[in-house]
Amino acid sequence: MISHCKRYPHLCWIFLGGLFFLPNLGASHLFDWDEINFAESAREMIVSQDFLSVQINFLPFWEKPPLFIWLQALSFMFFGTFTEHAWTSMEFAARFPNAMVGISTLLIIFNLGKKFFSDNFGHLWAFSYLAAITPHVYASSGIIDPLFNLFIFLGIYYFAEYYADSSRIKNAFLSGVMIGLGMLTKGPVALLLWGLTLLVFGILHRKQVLNRFYILLKGAILSAVLACLFFVSWYGLIALKFGTGIIEDFFAYQIRLLTTGDAGHGQPFYYHALVLLLGCFPISIVALNRILVKKESMAFASWMKVLFWVVLILFSLVKTKIVHYSSMCWLPITFFSAQILVGWYEGNMPLSRVKTVLFVIIGLLLGLIFTLVPLIGENPNLFLPYIQDGFVRGNLQSPVAWDGFEKWIGVIWAAVIIYSAWGKNGLSFRKFLICMVICVCLIFAYSRYVVPKIEGYTQATPIDFYIAKSGQKVYVETVGFKSFAHLLYFQKQAGSPTGEELMNRSSVDRPAFFVMKSDAEDRFKYHPNLILINEENGFLFYKHR
């Protein structure tokens, strides 16, 4: 692969990114909550023609700034998503910005690897990013974090350049711009991660930093002020429009995420370490060789090491733990993977027996999971007696059609893991590279053929109901559970009442339908104004009397 990419490296990574990121964009409905949340905010921007405000259900939404949602709105308009002449599906358009971010990330890390080390390093860094499970999957998603991570990474890169040559003040300026864009993407956590990384790096390299302390401090202040200007400017306009209460709500939400297990996402301290180990497989195993090394000889490698540990420790301490909170670690992990792979390519740095065993254990565990999911789907009646949750039992009875080959993706995965570690010398560069190539293809296949079927169990039933009602002069609401799916797929318009408000009315001006889960509270299920019209796959469908 390295030799084939040498002549036209950028075209190579554009082609590979497009080949693996674009085809799966429309493979499934958008997933509740996050994917649908952001896409719905973008739709409401277009419907209301208010591109300054972020809205949900046509009310101010303070949890997220607007940058990624602006990109989705542009994508919707470019593809004509909500017109009769749409080029492609809504799902494709909503996820398209992330595919472009994914391709851009491959190009950027290739260029940086080439700049700091060699062509081979750049290729192996980009290939590590492509081969890791979660970075690959998220590049075909509608989640904010890949763009957020890229801005933070670039902010740290530019400040690292300023640290290396303080006469180039433009790098401090660019660092501030990138962090400011990161803040406009997801909030002040961008500034927090950037600032903590600079602080920890400064402490670890205090002798060098003290010699140029005031120059470096000037650059850091310039970057921070510029970053804050981006954020404050937008929130200042929002405060003028809605009042300062929306800013108070935003910061209260950020504090709640840091200090409580918000939305049921309280997890143990080791959660993110485990998520990264499994989610960035197979490259997470080889990256351990560098992550656990105490000192780095190269300055850029030291920046990557500090960034990794800052993110991992911070989000391990934070009470709310969600998979993508630690996703900023993907770039350092893939960087360390490239370091080891280059060493292998040059004939040194073999993987220890302990890490080889860890590689086999985690690889086979993932292979088992990848195999079991289709097996459960193909044979739900065998597993239903062991499932006590009524809602999950209902989900599992959804009429999802399996082709039979899907389980072989997991079997092939397991076989590749065994092949890679088999033999007297264990893992080698050649075997691991083959493993990475096959893993890329299997991750792609799983995303294309299995994930849409998983979605068929979890949410396809209500979403199909919303789509069927779209365009009709009716109300469609959910009751008893949080969802954004009815807003987007029914394409709810401004001014419609909320679910409980509508349910409690003695009469309605048009047919009103309500969706609940089978485990909904009795006060909803047996409400005197509602008639049960259908029960399907764990969901209850009601109509107002």
Q: Mind listing the pLDDT tens digit for each residue in 371-403?
A: 999 999 999 888 888 888 888 888 888 889 999
pLDDT tens string 243-260: 777 777 777 777 776 676
Residue 542, strand partner residues: 514, 532
Written as tens digits, the pLDDT of the chain (545 aa) is 555 567 789 999 999 999 999 999 999 999 988 899 999 999 999 999 999 989 999 988 888 899 999 999 999 999 998 887 788 899 999 999 999 999 999 999 999 999 999 999 999 999 999 999 999 999 999 999 999 999 999 999 999 999 999 989 999 999 999 999 999 999 899 999 999 999 999 999 988 888 899 999 999 999 999 999 988 888 888 888 877 777 777 777 777 766 765 555 557 888 999 999 999 999 999 998 888 876 777 789 999 999 999 999 999 988 777 888 899 999 999 999 999 999 888 877 677 888 899 999 999 999 999 999 999 999 988 888 888 888 888 888 888 999 999 999 999 999 999 999 987 777 888 899 999 999 999 999 999 999 999 999 999 999 999 999 998 999 999 998 889 999 999 999 888 888 788 888 888 889 999 999 998 888 888 899 999 999 999 999 999 98
d(CA 243, CA 442): 50
Spatial CB neighbours of 537, under 8 Å, sequence gap ≥ 6 = 394, 395, 397, 398, 399, 457, 461
Question: What is the SS3 assignment for 429?
Answer: helix
Question: What is the SS3 assignment for 368?
Answer: helix
- Residue 487 has a pLDDT of 95
Do the beta carbons of residue 70 and residue 94 sit within 8 Å?
Answer: no
405: which 2 tokens?
A: 């080959």
**120-143: burial string, b at 16+ Cβ within 10 Å, e else:** bbbbbbbbbbbbbbbbbbbbbbbb
Do the beta carbons of residue 170 and residue 234 sit within 8 Å?
Answer: no
d(CA 366, CA 282): 10
Spatial CB neighbours of 329, under 8 Å, sequence gap ≥ 6 = 272, 276, 280, 307, 308, 311, 312
239: which 2 tokens?
A: 């405060």
Give the predicted TM-score (pTM) of the model: 0.93
436: which 2 tokens?
A: 């990475």
465: which 2 tokens?
A: 């109901």
Domain boundaries, the chain: 9-345, 353-458, 466-544
- Residue 386 has a pLDDT of 85
- How many of the other CB atoms lie within 10 Å of CB of 408? 15
- Residue 241 has a pLDDT of 81
- Residue 381 has a pLDDT of 87
Do the beta carbons of residue 12 and residue 71 sit within 8 Å?
Answer: no
- Residue 521 has a pLDDT of 86
Helix (H) or strand (E) holding 230: helix 213-242
Place of tokens 């919303």: 466
Sheet bearing 512-517, strands edge to edge:
475-478, 512-517, 539-544, 530-536
* Alpha carbon distance, N-terminus to C-terminus of the chain: 65
Strand-strand pairing, 539-544 and 530-536? antiparallel
Looking at residue 385, the DSSP 8-state letter turns out to be G
